[in-house]
């Protein structure tokens, strides 16, 4: 038996401002830090020993994980992977979601946010928001740095990494992944075998650990959000 814990980072400064964030490397706000602290407390109550920690390259995910590790008094080495980064929102990056609804219409913005294979227009490479101009990503091969992504694009990079680097290490180990709304949505699509329509409906709350229990054959037994007051519909189980 083993456990996989998926945690979307706590609320970030741009979450609060309702902006398309993507690969811009913003940090947690005070509420996000409080959410991460509570996540750590809830995991600690389960008395699960975490064997492996993974996060994206992004500060909001890394710092969520650090806060959780502090609550668990467990500072073993973790692995950061750009493949677990949030979806790149292209030319929408930095824009306010409500303002874009007024400009483009609510249906169009919903399509950009939730459709399976629709990409926003590419972000200009000269933009300060482009990953090529953000120091966090300087070691990522240039040909791997996106200008824009669909959820399908995000799924493909996340799941390739998960299968090759995490799933192979999963046998009888407990793993925690601190990542983002769309990278965790991609993992849920893969793990729960959701179709393209179901994945568009899946909401991932910030800073709320999703605990997934596996049997000895790596089959899912059950799953639950640990903060029941802020749980979202998993569409399964």
Per-residue pLDDT for 236 more than 70? no
Residues 185-215 have pLDDT tens digits of: 999 999 999 998 888 888 899 999 999 999 9
Whether 193 is covered by a domain: the verdict is yes
Show the domain range for 106: 2-230
Active site residues: 9, 86
Whether 140 is covered by a domain: the verdict is yes
pTM, rounded to two decimals: 0.94
pLDDT number for residue 237: 46
Whether 43 is covered by a domain: the verdict is yes
Whether 237 is covered by a domain: the verdict is no
Whether 235 is covered by a domain: the verdict is no
Whether 17 is covered by a domain: the verdict is yes
How many domains, the chain? 1
Residue 176: which of 211, 135, 125, 217 has the closest Cα?
Answer: 211
Whether 236 is covered by a domain: the verdict is no
Whether 170 is covered by a domain: the verdict is yes
Residues 112-132 have pLDDT tens digits of: 777 899 999 999 999 999 999
Confidence class of residue 235 from pLDDT cuts 50, 70 and 90?
Answer: low
CATH number, domain containing residue 114: 3.40.50.1240
């Amino acid at each position: 038996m083993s456990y996989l814990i998926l945690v979307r980072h706590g609320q970030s400064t741009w979450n609060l401002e309702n902006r398309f964030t993507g690969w811009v490397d913003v940090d947690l706000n005070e509420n996000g830090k409080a959410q991460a602290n509570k996540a750590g407390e809830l995991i600690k109550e389960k008395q699960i020993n975490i064997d492996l920690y993974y996060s994206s390259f992004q500060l909001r995910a890394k710092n969520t994980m650090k806060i959780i590790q502090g609550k668990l008094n467990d500072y073993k080495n973790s692995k950061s992977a750009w493949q677990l980064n949030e979806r790149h929102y292209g030319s929408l990056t930095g824009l306010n979601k409500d303002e874009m609804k007024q400009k483009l219409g609510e249906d169009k913005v919903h399509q950009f946010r939730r459709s399976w294979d629709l990409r926003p227009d590419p972000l200009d490479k000269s933009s300060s928001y482009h990953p090529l101009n953000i120091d966090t990503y300087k070691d990522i091969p240039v040909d791997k740095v996106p200008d824009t992504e669909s959820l399908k694009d995000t799924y493909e990079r996340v799941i390739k990494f998960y299968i090759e680097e995490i799933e192979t290490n999963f046998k009888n180990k407990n793993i925690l992944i601190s990542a983002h709304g769309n990278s965790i949505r991609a993992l849920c699509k893969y793990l729960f075998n959701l179709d393209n329509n179901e994945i568009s409906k899946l909401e991932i709350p910030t800073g709320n650990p999703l605990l997934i229990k596996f049997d000895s054959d790596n089959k899912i037994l059950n799953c639950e959000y640990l903060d029941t007051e802020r749980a979202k519909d998993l569409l399964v189980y």
